[in-house]
Amino acid sequence: MASVGEEIILDLQKQSLREVNRSLHENSPSLAGQSIQILHPAGHHSVAAGVNVAAHIEVQGHVGYYAAGMTRQATITIDGNAGCGLAENMMSGQVRVKGNASTCAGATAHGGLLIIEGNAASRCGISLKGADIVVGGSVGHMSGFMAQAGRLVVCGDAGHGLGDSLYEAVIYVRGELYGLGADAQQQDMTDEDVAQLERLLAAAEFSHKPQEFKRIGSARTLYHWNPDADLEY
Amino acid sequence: MSHRPLNLEESASYNRHVIEYIHLAAERGVYDIRGLGAKRQLPTLDDLVFLTASASRYPLEGYREKCETKTVLGHHRAERPVELEIPITIAGMSFGSLSANTKEAIGRAATEIGTSTTTGDGGMTPEERESSKTLVYQCLPSRYGFNPEDVLKADAIEVVLGQGAKPGGGGMLLGQKISPRVAGMRTLPEGIDQRSACRHPDWTGPDDLVIKIEELREITDWQIPIYVKLGATRVKDDVKLAVKAGADVVVMDGMQGGTAATQQVFIEHSGIPTLPAIRLAREALEEMRVSEQVQLIVSGGIRTGADVAKALALGADAVSIGQGVLMALGCNGSHWADNGELVDATAEYAQLGVQPGYCHHCQSGLCPVGITTQDEQLEKRLDPAWGARRLKNYLQVMNMELTTLARACGKSNVHHLEPEDLVALTVEAAAMAKVPLAGTDWIPGERGHG
């Protein structure tokens, strides 16, 4: 682990992924509050997976699958695009991607804030379990599938099947809806929705107004197994 | 008016069971959901027998000579492989489907006898972590309760792709079992009928699974083994893909495997029996030349020490049991124990429309003996210490039966049992197990055997 001034440098051109991640895990106590640069990610998978320290980590380039997977406490910025499963099962902290994200961004994430400045592909926020996701652009089909808790904010458009089989998560879409999934419905915005949107947009540093968004929530008709649910089961 | 003689000729195609099924479907408009495993007659390990020693083989002395049962899983890549005293492990069963007391009883028994237990859908409870020396943490499609803190407490991770009772299908936990604690662990509203997803949320095929497994290794710093659990369908292809994806251990669950609740049509009509699945899985490992690196655990209808011995002889490194565990704890028994006093539970079985010995109503949450329930009163019916003692006894009996058969075959290590020790009693079993039909050298389907 090299150190330049106050910054810690981890270089994936000089170290293996295993060494970089192990270094982030094993040195957690001493990394709190530190700034860490990860250089030359070059599409590596699982960069900064399993990190559990309140450090500022900047990844300088594109990453592959599962970047920042299962992360806790950390503030991670990816200066590039991210592959499938970005910040999957994240528990807390913040992950920001300056480019686009591939499928399943924020899958099953329990807590924290995931910000995608560009677009996100299909299944963004799938099985979301309490985290907040803000997407600056559009999301692909089946986003928010079986999302249980948390919020998905989409500043652009949303592909078809949005919010299919939603539980208690809420989706906000500013642009066009290309079709809702089973049991998802457009609902009236409440004062609470406006307040939450204001908070999330500010945290993500987007200037849109909450009133420009539509709220999508669960109609809760699939909460109980029954034969009258239009064969959804 | 003269009466015709009574004619009770029953249709084979439309017998009383089929007519009852059609009547109920017509009346209710919903299919049946139930627990446990397939009830239909299937080719099983009972259709095999051992050719124990005689003049041509040299037996070991009954319960005196040493017969090794130690089993090591996942030693190829993991820095901390799973080391067990016996090759009989406890299958994944969720907190939610089972009570916390039941999970604790299982953990205590497994620890005492030196084997592993496994979490299930819904996450890891403190009770089972504290009571289990070796705990396998399942990574399921729903990811209910799945979190990095518990990943780091685990002794192995099992990525579940399928289950023998319902390969290709997700689980169901009906509202009556979604108690406040279960709901909290799963981040779901209380009392809803919960559906577990049938496929993982963050990967879509075997090429992705390679990367997913690598992520789990990175998060755990390559310390612990990664298992991949499959429901037995296209066994050879699936095992090969699991190995290619990086599995340290493949868990193959045959169609006799149980479930907390799923559609009956799944339980009875999907997947293949454990008997052929074992042999196909072993062949897949041999064809890939990874038998020394990747271990095979087999589950689904493993009930006795004889079943364990036959599974090992056909190629399993270990077995996993679920329904037998519940029965050892009192499932389908007529009584439960209140401070050592046996209390009759047949009235509660009657309320479910069943009798002890026939019950499969795990889905109802009304388990008369307090095992598959979240009801505060019912769950008290299983005392963890009482249950642990019974389960430990059951595991001990199975292990003694296993070593008895192994010694009689002349093996000083249960892992030395081999297909050559077995013959089949039926043509079907001979074809599936790829061992000769008893009294012949005929293995149906083998080249040169017709």
A73 within some domain: no
What is the radius of gyration, based on Cα positions, of chain A?
Answer: 18
Distance between terminal CA atoms of chain A?
Answer: 53
A98 within some domain: no
pLDDT at residue A1, rounded to an integer? 64
Q: What is the mean pLDDT of residues A167-187?
A: 97
If you measure CA to CA, which chain A residue comes closest to B29?
A: A227
Look at chain A and report how many structural domains it folds into: 1
pLDDT at residue B308, rounded to an integer? 98
Residue A149 touches partner B, C-beta closer than 8 Å: yes
pLDDT at B4 over 60: yes
Residue A227 touches partner B, C-beta closer than 8 Å: yes
pLDDT at residue A231, rounded to an integer? 45
Residues of A in contact with B204 (CB under 8 A): 103
User: Considering the entire predicted model, what is its pTM?
Assistant: 0.94
User: For residue B447, what pLDDT band results from cuts at 50, 70 and 90?
Assistant: confident
Q: Which pair of structure tokens corresponds to residue A204?
A: 């993500």
Query: At A214, phi and psi to the nearest 5?
Result: -105, 145
pLDDT digits (tens, 9 = 90+) for A149-158: 999 999 999 9
pLDDT over 70 percentage in chain B = 99
Q: Which pair of structure tokens corresponds to residue A157?
A: 């458009």
β-pair partners for B98: B95
Residue A123 touches partner B, C-beta closer than 8 Å: yes
What is the radius of gyration, based on Cα positions, of chain B?
Answer: 22
Residues of A in contact with B145 (CB under 8 A): none
Q: Which pair of structure tokens corresponds to residue B285?
A: 């490992």
pLDDT digits (tens, 9 = 90+) for B405-423: 999 999 999 999 999 999 9
CA distances from B338 to B384, B390, B419 (A): 12, 15, 46
Give the list of residues 6+ apart from residue A6 with CB closer than 8 angstroms, or none.
A34, A35
Determine the CATH number of domain B45-433.
Answer: 3.20.20.70
A178 within some domain: yes
The chain-wide mean pLDDT, for chain B, equals 93
pLDDT over 90 percentage in chain A = 90
If you measure CA to CA, which chain B residue comes closest to A111?
A: B147
Say which residue, A108 or B61, is predicted with more confidence. Answer: A108
A19 within some domain: no
Residue A172 touches partner B, C-beta closer than 8 Å: no
pLDDT at A226 over 80: no
Contact state of A167 with B189 under an 8 Å Cβ cutoff:
yes
- Identify which of A50, A85, A127 has the shortest CB distance to residue B148: A50
pLDDT at A233 over 60: no
Q: What is the mean pLDDT of residues A71-94?
A: 98
- Identify which of A50, A84, A103 has the shortest CB distance to residue B219: A50
Query: At B149, phi and psi to the nearest 5?
Result: -60, -45
pLDDT digits (tens, 9 = 90+) for A95-146: 999 999 999 999 999 999 999 999 999 999 999 999 999 999 999 999 999 9
Structural domain boundaries, residue A220 = 103-233
pLDDT over 90 percentage in chain B = 75
- Rounded to whole angstroms, the Cα distance separating B129 from B183 reads 19
Min Cα–Cα distance to chain B from A197, Å: 22
Contact state of A70 with B218 under an 8 Å Cβ cutoff:
no
The chain-wide mean pLDDT, for chain A, equals 94
Query: At A61, phi and psi to the nearest 5?
Result: 145, -170
Say which residue, B31 or B402, is predicted with more confidence. Answer: B402
A27 within some domain: no
- Rounded to whole angstroms, the Cα distance separating A151 from A128 reads 8
pLDDT at residue A5, rounded to an integer? 57
Min Cα–Cα distance to chain B from A163, Å: 14
Residue A18, H or E segment: helix A17-26
Residues 170-189 of B with CB under 8 A from A: 172, 174-175, 186-189
Residue A88 touches partner B, C-beta closer than 8 Å: yes
Give the list of residues 6+ apart from residue A15 with CB closer than 8 angstroms, or none.
A23
Q: What is the mean pLDDT of residues B109-137?
A: 94
- B49 exposed, middle or buried (CB, 10 Å; 0-12, 13-18, 19+)? middle
Q: Residue A139, Cα to own-chain centre: how many angstroms?
A: 12
Residue B7 touches partner A, C-beta closer than 8 Å: no
Q: Which of B178, B188, B193, B219 to mutate to test the interface with A (most CBs of A within 10 A)?
A: B219
pLDDT at A232 over 50: no
Q: Which pair of structure tokens corresponds to residue B20?
A: 């009852």
Residue B344, H or E segment: strand B341-344
A6 within some domain: no
- Report the range of poorest mean pLDDT among A206-220, B69-83, B87-101, B259-273: B259-273
A43 within some domain: no
Which amino acid would we find at residue A143?
S
If you measure CA to CA, which chain B residue comes closest to A166?
A: B188
Give the list of residues 6+ apart from residue A124 with CB closer than 8 angstroms, or none.
A101, A103, A104, A105, A106, A116, A133, A135, A139, A140, A143, A144, A152, A154
Q: Which residues of B169-198 are buried (b: 16+ CB within 10 A; e: fewer)?
A: bbbbbbbebbbeebbebbbbbebbbbbbbe
- Residue B9 is given by DSSP the state P
ipTM of predicted assembly, 2 dp? 0.94
pLDDT over 70 percentage in chain A = 94
pLDDT digits (tens, 9 = 90+) for B160-186: 999 988 888 887 777 877 888 888 888
Q: What is the mean pLDDT of residues A79-93?
A: 98
Residue whose token pair is 């295993």: A18
Q: Which of A47, A65, A128 to mutate to test the interface with B (most CBs of B within 10 A)?
A: A65
Q: Residue B249, Cα to own-chain centre: how many angstroms?
A: 15
- Report the range of poorest mean pLDDT among A113-122, A160-169, B334-343: B334-343
pLDDT at B448 over 70: no
User: For residue A42, what pLDDT band results from cuts at 50, 70 and 90?
Assistant: very high
Residues of B in contact with A65 (CB under 8 A): 208, 211-212, 215
pLDDT digits (tens, 9 = 90+) for B217-268: 999 999 999 999 999 999 999 999 999 999 999 999 999 988 877 888 888 8
- Rounded to whole angstroms, the Cα distance separating A83 from A72 reads 19
pLDDT at B426 over 90: yes
Query: At B68, phi and psi to the nearest 5?
Result: -70, 135
